[in-house]
Structure 1
Amino acid sequence: MELRTLRAFVEVVRRGGFSEAAKTVFTTQSAVSKAVRQLEDELGLTLLDRIGHRSTLTAAGEIVYRRALTMLAERDDLLAELEEFRGLKRGRLRLGLPPIGSDALFAPLFAIYRSRYPGIEIQLVEHGSKRLEELVRDGEVDLGGSLLPVSEAFDWQEVRLEPIHVLLPEDHPLASEEAIPLERLKDMAFILFDAGFALNPIILEACQSRGFEPQVAARSSQINFIVELVAAGLGVGFLPRLIARQRVHAGVVHRPVIDPGMNWHMAFVWRRGAYLPHAARAWLELAAEVFQKKGQAQS
């Protein structure tokens, strides 16, 4: 079994077909098809159910796909470790960041990192925290931003702990309050983020602990749109304090939510026990340095 055939098979599954997979591995569609057929012949099993131009995994294919991801991630770890061992002053950082808070927290780090390590290429992807955890687990990114707590599959380094604020129209009856108990929001419509954003479970689990299920009026992946919906009176939204302070809107106010479970605890995560390339370790060291200084300045 060759890694190149596993790579071809994995990319067919990821990209949803042979033609798109061929573009990813820089070969022809017929070569990808031949590689997958060779893998099926070697294993004596059908891995893909081919229906027209679409291919779906068989039960055997799901097992091979899961194992192939692990094998390819281990290969990448091996090559990265050998590259660092040879002392090359080049490399790449595969970094996954969530849309919420990344501009405020991490934009300054990029400039510092680039000045210190000009030979390192930063490959950035942006997704909700749950999707980033999947990418880290599959070895597609070295580090991902997520919210604590995380599963035991990950090691992590804390970035920042922020209370969550509720966004209210400025003419709302509670807008004059300095802080608002969560249970006082139970009869109001909530505007939440799309599925995959780790902020949602924090809000929903806190509501459940207070004995109610909120009415969800809308969901969005865009912070600015959520703020506009709040201003229009559709419902109340939620943001970490740091981000709420930056999203100033003439028709919206934000107030702390009084609930011990309503915190946004950002961290960088990576696969537990996995080899971290020098570029990723350097990013973590820089993040610890910068956020420690910020913490001291705020105290």
Structure 2
Amino acid sequence: MDIRPLRYFLAIAKSASFTRAAEQLQVAQPAVSMAIKKLETDLGLTLIHRSDRKISLTDEGKRLLLHAEKITQAVDDALLEMRELKGLNQGEVRVGIPSMLGSYYFPPILMAFRHRYPSINLKVIEGGTWQLQRMLEQGELDLSVIVAETLPEGLETHRLLKEEMRVTVAKDHPFSQQESITPEAFFDEELVMFKEGYFHRRVVDNLAKTTGKQPNIGFETNLIPLIKSITQQGFGVSTLLSMVVENDDKLISRPFNPPIWLDLSIAWRKGAYLSQANQAFLDFVCEQGQPNNDL
């Protein structure tokens, strides 16, 4: 089977449009339509519902989509490995990093890596850990930092560090007079939170379910400086990684009672070929981790 129709099929499935798929692929739309029609003829199945206003996959198309993603990724991995054996390494790393770590943990690591490997191009994508994990599984990223609650199926991980989530308040907030904060007391306050899809928010949502409390979220933003500013001015309380607040003398942080610790790991697809550039980045980042933290 020619691999190109599968690539065309994937582009249509993701964009829900023959026109947009052709634009992304930089191919004439009739060529895309003919390739999909031939693919359907070869398989003896209808893969796509066609209408003037909406494109959607049939049940058979949805099943093929699962295989097409794996097949095209395997082909891409094989081609990359063959190019590197011929000395044609492109030297690019596509890595996903959550915003808190991107702002406070990774900048010196990324700069040090670039200093050691100046010819390798770093493409850093910021997002929520669950979005980044999905992008990694779909082959849109080579590596990604995730919060490893459980080992995701299909991914390999290496733990980078263990970090505490701390309740963060203004200096004059009553919490500043306490040694630790219970989840119940935390959820009695108006909260300043990241949006859904970020590990910061997921931790709080899971804690609320365990506690049986409904979070009172007054502000939602993924901008860390804004979260800190709102909290500092007393318009709510938040929870941030200790690395974010440890050197901020305008805010007070206290541990939860009991404490909340997160295992932050770097992940890659299980069994996937890592290019020389990606392996170099993975090894470098793992060297910077904190493997001796107590579990």
Structure 1: any 5+ residue segments left out of the alignment? none
TM-superposition CA deviations, 1:237-268 (whole Å, max 9, x none): 1110102236x484x432222324x2232111
- The TM-score with structure 1 as length reference comes to 0.87
Residue 252 of structure 2 is aligned to residue 253 of structure 1: yes
Structure 2: any 5+ residue segments left out of the alignment? none
Matched to 2:109, the amino acid is: L
CA deviation after TM superposition for structure 1 residue 111, in Å: 2.4
Closer/same/farther in 2, CA of residues 182 and 277 from structure 1, 3 Å limit: same
TM-superposition CA deviations, 1:3-32 (whole Å, max 9, x none): 111111111222332222223212122222
Identify the residue that residue 278 of structure 1 maps to in structure 2: 276
After TM superposition, list the pairs within 5 Å mapping 1:262-273 onto structure 2.
Answer: 262-273=260-271
Residue 191 of structure 2 is aligned to residue 193 of structure 1: no
CA deviation after TM superposition for structure 1 residue 280, in Å: 1.4
TM-superposition CA deviations, 1:83-140 (whole Å, max 9, x none): 2223345332121111222122222222222233333232332221101111111122
Distance 2:109 2:82 in 1: 27
C-alpha RMSD over aligned residues: 2.4
Distance 1:132 1:91 in 2: 21
TM-superposition CA deviations, 1:199-250 (whole Å, max 9, x none): 223223234334434333343222223233334544321110102236x484
Residue 146 of structure 2 is aligned to residue 146 of structure 1: yes
Matched to 1:268, the amino acid is: I
Identify the residue that residue 244 of structure 1 maps to in structure 2: 245
Distance 1:171 1:158 in 2: 37
Q: What secondary structure sits across from 1:196 in the alignment?
A: coil
After TM superposition, list the pairs within 5 Å mapping 1:155-174 onto structure 2.
Answer: 155-174=156-175
Distance 1:245 1:50 in 2: 56
Distance 2:287 2:110 in 1: 14
Contact kept, 8 Å, 1:89 with 1:119, in 2: the verdict is no
Distance 2:17 2:179 in 1: 55
Distance 1:231 1:52 in 2: 53
Distance 1:258 1:49 in 2: 54
- The TM-score with structure 2 as length reference comes to 0.88
Contact kept, 8 Å, 1:190 with 1:237, in 2: the verdict is yes
Identify the residue that residue 285 of structure 2 maps to in structure 1: 287
Q: What secondary structure sits across from 2:263 in the alignment?
A: strand
After TM superposition, list the pairs within 5 Å mapping 1:48-197 onto structure 2.
Answer: 48-149=48-149, 150-197=151-198
Distance 2:229 2:60 in 1: 48
Percent of paired sites with the same residue: 29
Distance 1:249 1:20 in 2: 50
Q: What secondary structure sits across from 1:160 in the alignment?
A: strand
CA deviation after TM superposition for structure 1 residue 53, in Å: 4.6
Distance 1:50 1:230 in 2: 51
Distance 2:175 2:109 in 1: 37
Distance 1:90 1:239 in 2: 37
Closer/same/farther in 2, CA of residues 100 and 16 from structure 1, 3 Å limit: farther
Distance 1:285 1:117 in 2: 12
Closer/same/farther in 2, CA of residues 42 and 185 from structure 1, 3 Å limit: same
Per mean C-alpha deviation after superposition, the further-off stretch among 194-203 and 226-235 is 226-235
